[in-house]
Structure 1
């Protein structure tokens, strides 16, 4: 059966809303936003209220990026040519959140190779170090310049280059904000430095130096990306533009309780875009007990979104004959459309879309756990029980009273999801070697009537981690950690990557526990066997 639709196309981007209820929601919210898109295009920092004004004044530089980023393109183009002429054909990006998600999409869409390190898993890092080191250039990207994961990547690559008889100054490029600690280190080490616009937040930085430097070095035509973004930028001030429609729909739906945003790719040819949008939405809106929860599903036939009354289906690419929203168009234009839409949705939801008040919490817990443990074990709490390759841990053992198998544990967690809640699966594993763990999302979704998300740790801490803590406190959490075949030292640090990874996992659990949220950790004593065991248990659920 066909559904009523309304499409807006401008600047290379098309947004289509389908379904009477969503159309009514979008119309009402758009009327409330009359004149707001033009004010946003003019960088009006008062749009989100007096409490957000100071932050907004230093976070709206992303609006100018299609133009302002062109200023350093000649320098970047010349440097990229020199890198290629030196035979450095393997580009590794060390970055987290906004520093890695957009470059990954840009490179994948262009079909060029880019190795992204947004992990503390020692196996994944060791594999990257062993891959074409003699032809590697490392891009170290951090807005603050203090990101512990990125700092650790820099340290281990510096040592690897030196051990191979390579001067790190010939291989390391730094992207950071002016005056950051990382800039100081880079200048002292004679690394090539590209400074980003400090008035752009990390998740809005796709078209800044954070998105352009690593991808240009990898061979992407970043000038074309900016051309496409500039074409869309000409349309953003209109009340009836694609960005305005997207913002009205997202914000209006969220206020009506339809706050679970399911992303399904259907021919977008922009691999990973949903993961980038996930961070943008979750970190921008998940605060003050409200927010939009992005749920990235494997395909449009992942039927777990169909019967949920609090969901909106977003299709990236081609429209479906279903109630929902479809967004398609050029990559540069799509980045800007979602940024404008998210900022407008923030106004409707009554939140500041540019801060992330809870992101630092897990970081602080990680540091505290490492300090408290010293050289001793990070946790002395024994497992609730062990079944074959999986050990089960819970800070509140009463949560698992009567559970004797992994299947029982999963059943307890699914049963604990409240009426408007969700289950988050958080895997502190190697997202390449342990990729099968991601199958757990779909398997669990088939056995619950509620949304199930999946995130690789610690990268989700810079994304949905904000929503987990600052959004509605209706989440239930399943964490996966795993044993290491071999750990990896971090030069100049008193802890290893494996120890850091576990401390990050435990630090996040501590933040969730402080909010009284149900959370279980499954530790895979053997990763391959453990993943298979957990998947089998999920499939056994009635």
Structure 2
């Protein structure tokens, strides 16, 4: 069972930088108020992501298609960006071999390689053609609105390639709004297979919908177990003393204390994608109205050698959350060699498992001794069930923190203007006013 340990966040353990150990009792009324609001929003459909673990009308179709597709495709290319790709990418990285795409088909159990096209850099777009055979590639086009410029540009590019070399009807699946949007209209007119994103589920909260389930199911991941883990966490969160609410409340309390840099620090290479996914979730949901935390991802032990100096000795504006794992799955031993060299000899006979856990604990103790707030999520292992728990926990924590802050955690007004300006610059006729704004923009140029 996933555990949230906040021992090193209370003042008894880290001194004046911490929060009072009775913070839970002090804030019980606020927690109850937030819990009531969340339950009301779940009931009225505002928080649609909370229903995803329990309501999946397309689940059997997803599993059947995934089973039928095994050994059929050499590659899957996901055309999506932000919430349309980060969740599936995180699940894939967490549950598959670290060099999955380099394994042969037999070692991948017949499942295809996967590539995420989440940028419009022309080198990336052109470069993918050098490593995949279009005829043997399945494309998943993912955009809830069906209007995402980056996804649509990728769609147009690869659709042309498939028309020349393959069969678009067999090779393209569209995941979008069930009723509206250009991708839905194109799917109807062209006959593309589709899956739906529930209208009341925002992109960054959509990983447990078809947005995340379709790509990972096609890679052989147990999506039933993923959803079961989310269901288990939802059950735990029926009372107010749960990991999601406590994580949210603590982050909020530290935000009030000026700790506006929130670091997610997994000590498992497999979970780096989860930190990436959380970073978008936290940033787009909570960065509002001139306030909000800045989420930062770090990787243990790699970033002990790049960021830890700042965390230990820099401005006291950070709260750190480790993700630790009890069972890494493999035991890898360090050989005994150079016994006459003490700087090497002490390592021999230990495992890399012991080493990474020692480094995490050493970092935790050092931060605690320095009075730097740090908590941790503890995972028994990394499997689909545990990942489902963690995903639901962080999603619920995010909306909870938004409600503590008094903001809407579902919208993203800060990115909409840039989207409109992009469409204007690319010639979208409905954005002439935005184009005029750009053309008439006056600024002082300063260049070197």
Considering fraction of residues, name the structure with more strand. 1
| Structure 2 partner of 1:147 | 148
How many corresponding residue pairs?
357
8 Å contact from structure 1 (residues 129, 160) kept in 2: no
- Please, which runs of 5 or more residues in structure 1 have no aligned partner? 1-11, 46-55, 373-377, 379-394, 405-542
Aligned to 2:161: 160
- Between 1 and 2, higher relative CO (CA 8 Å, sep ≥ 6) is seen in 2
Partner in structure 1 of residue 30 of structure 2:
33
Alignment partner, residue 333 of structure 1: 389
126-135 or 176-185, which moves further after superposition? 126-135
Matched, 1:312 2:297: no
SS of the counterpart of 2:271?
A: coil
Equivalent residues of 1:30, 1:239 under 8 A apart: no
Note the C-alpha offset of 1:251. Answer: 1.4
Counterpart Cα distance in 2 of 1:29 and 1:94: 47
Q: Deviations over 1:480-529 (max 9, x none)?
A: xxxxxxxxxxxxxxxxxxxxxxxxxxxxxxxxxxxxxxxxxxxxxxxxxx
- Report the counterpart of residue 407 of structure 1 in structure 2: none
Paired with 1:291 and 1:348, the residues of 2 have a C-alpha distance of 11
Q: Distance in 2 between matches of 1:187 and 1:116?
A: 25
Q: Which residue of 1 aligns with 2:55?
A: 68
Gaps of 5+ in 2: 12-16, 101-112, 326-360, 380-385, 429-434, 436-442
Displacement of 1:289 in angstroms is: 0.7
Cα–Cα, structure 1 residues 198 and 205, in superposed 2: closer, same or farther, change >3 Å?
same
Matched position secondary structure for 1:274: helix
Distance 1:57 1:353 in 2: 16
Match of 1:79 among 48, 55, 65: 65
Write the deviation string for residues 88-133 of structure 1: whole angstroms up to 9, x where unpaired: 1311100111110000001111215421011101111112233132
The C-alpha deviation readout for 1:225-246, integer Å capped at 9, x for no partner, is 1111111111112221111110
Q: Is 2:425 aligned against 1:369?
A: yes
Counterpart of 2:41 (choices 32, 40, 44) is 44
CA distance in 2, matches of 1:273, 1:29: 32
> For the residues of structure 1 that align with 2:172 and 2:411, how far apart are their CA atoms?
30
Q: 1:233 to 1:40 in 2, by over 3 A?
A: farther
Q: Secondary structure at the match of 1:325?
A: strand
- Evaluate the alpha carbon distance shift between residue 30 and residue 139 of structure 1 in structure 2; reply closer, same or farther with a 3 A threshold: farther
- Find the counterpart in structure 1 of residue 198 from structure 2: 197
Give the SS at the match of 2:221. Answer: coil
Task: Specify which of 324, 339, 358 is matched with residue 374 of structure 2.
Answer: 324
Maintained 8 Å contact 1:40/1:237:
no
Runs of 4+ in 1 over 4 A off after TM superposition: 395-398
The residue aligned with 2:288 is 287
Could you tell me how far 1:187 is from its partner in structure 2?
A: 1.7
1:351-394, Cα deviation, whole Å (9 max, x unpaired):
1101111211111122233349xxxxx9xxxxxxxxxxxxxxxx
Deviation of 1:36 (Å): 4.0
| Alignment CA distance shift 1:155-1:314 (3 Å) | same
Pairwise mapping of residues 345-384 of structure 1 onto structure 2 (< 5 A)?
345-371=401-427
CA contact (8 A) 1:93 1:214 kept: yes
- Note closer, same or farther for the CA distance 1:349–1:37 as it changes in structure 2 (3 Å cut): closer
Structure number with the higher helix fraction is 2
Report whether the alignment pairs 1:175 with 2:172. Answer: no
Separation in 2, partners of 1:235, 1:186:
40
Question: In the superposition, relative to structure 1, how do residues 328 and 160 fare at CA in structure 2: closer, same or farther (>3 Å)?
Answer: farther
Q: What are the within-5 Å matches in structure 2 for residues 48-59 of structure 1? A: 57-59=44-46
Instruction: Determine the structure 2 residue equivalent to 1:497.
Output: none
Q: Determine if contact 2:81/2:118 at 8 Å carries over to the other structure.
A: yes
**Is this contact kept in 1: 2:267–2:299, CA < 8 A?**
no
| C-alpha contact (below 8 Å) 1:37/1:236 kept by paired residues | no
